[in-house]
Amino acid sequence: MIDTHCHLNFKAFKDDLDEVVARAKTAGVLNIINVGSQWDTSVRAVELTKGYQNLFAAVALHPIHLYELEVDEEELHFKTRAEVFDVNRYRELAQSSSKVVAIGECGLDYYHWPPGVEPVEVKQRQAEVFRQHIKLATELKLPLIIHCREAYDDLLKIISEFRIQNSELRGVAHCFLGTREQARQFLALGFYLSFTAIITFKSVALELLEVVKATPLNKIMVETDAPYLAPQAYRGSRNEPAYVVETAKKIAELKGLSYEEVDKVTTSNAQQLFNLA
């Protein structure tokens, strides 16, 4: 099993990181990809790879960090710091370690809106920065880890534009929550879909479960997005990589497959996309 998207580089794990990594190993989680959301967390993700053999990193600027805004959701409470995307600085960081295996998470987010800024301006800026990330990924021959919230159609258009120019563009739609048609379009573009423990929630949308059923197993990855989105059995607790097995079990249940088969194929998928040994 590989947790293809988590944030051990966040402050939530500053006091017990060794124990969290050990529990993941005990649970059978082979590798963990820590994903940056801005400069500081991207640097931290790379730094963590030096102390743990099974940790890998992705670096990028998340679209909500383009502006200063308050994020207040059930599991998210923080104030973002506005950052200008410096592609040269991120390029140097990505090239600083062979354990940087992706550019991400980057993309579009139409759920969080900065106060006092016109939506048209926000969309244009997010699209511009996303395009810069795509160019960087193709230049470095790294896959993309995509964040998308309530913006799938616009994001798919941008990817399609680049896919025409560069057939080697590849990546994964992290924490996929789109429709069956949007899932079909991602797969047609050669992208993988990654699912979180949202699929275990009592309140999960039935359409998302249908997407899981309809998506070929060889195009699926699993992730935690820890410390967020703990599985139903652990709701109210901090999520961590060991719990990624709960998502795999749910996928096995939905598709009528064995857990072992889901483990084997999703692990192989991640190894291929991220070039993990």
Q: What is the pLDDT of residues 208-237, one digit of tens each?
A: 999 999 999 999 999 999 999 999 999 999
Give the three-class secondary structure for 109: strand
Residue with tokens 């579009």: 108
Per residue in 146-192, pLDDT tens? 999 999 999 999 999 998 777 789 999 999 999 999 999 999 999 99
Residue 6 near residue 35, CB atoms below 8 Å: yes
| Predicted local confidence at residue 163, as pLDDT | 82
Q: For the chain, what is the mean pLDDT? A: 94
* Percent of the chain scoring above 90 in pLDDT: 88
Which structural domain range is residue 106 located in?
2-272
Phi-psi region of 114 (alpha: psi -120 to 50; beta: other; left: phi over 0): beta
Per residue in 247-270, pLDDT tens? 999 999 999 999 999 999 999 999
Domain count, the chain: 1
| In a domain? residue 35 | yes
What is the reported pTM? Answer: 0.95
| In a domain? residue 41 | yes
C-alpha to C-alpha distance for 98 and 75, rounded to whole angstroms: 33
C-alpha to C-alpha distance for 65 and 227, rounded to whole angstroms: 18
* Percent of the chain scoring above 70 in pLDDT: 97
Which ranges of the chain does DSSP label H, i.e. alpha helix? 17-26, 39-51, 87-95, 119-140, 152-165, 180-188, 206-214, 244-255, 259-274
CATH number of the structural domain spanning residue 81: 3.20.20.140
| In a domain? residue 277 | no
C-alpha to C-alpha distance for 155 and 120, rounded to whole angstroms: 15
| Predicted local confidence at residue 72, as pLDDT | 54
| Predicted local confidence at residue 69, as pLDDT | 75
Residue with tokens 């991120």: 90
C-alpha to C-alpha distance for 48 and 100, rounded to whole angstroms: 11
| Predicted local confidence at residue 78, as pLDDT | 58
| In a domain? residue 221 | yes
- DSSP secondary structure letter of residue 33: E
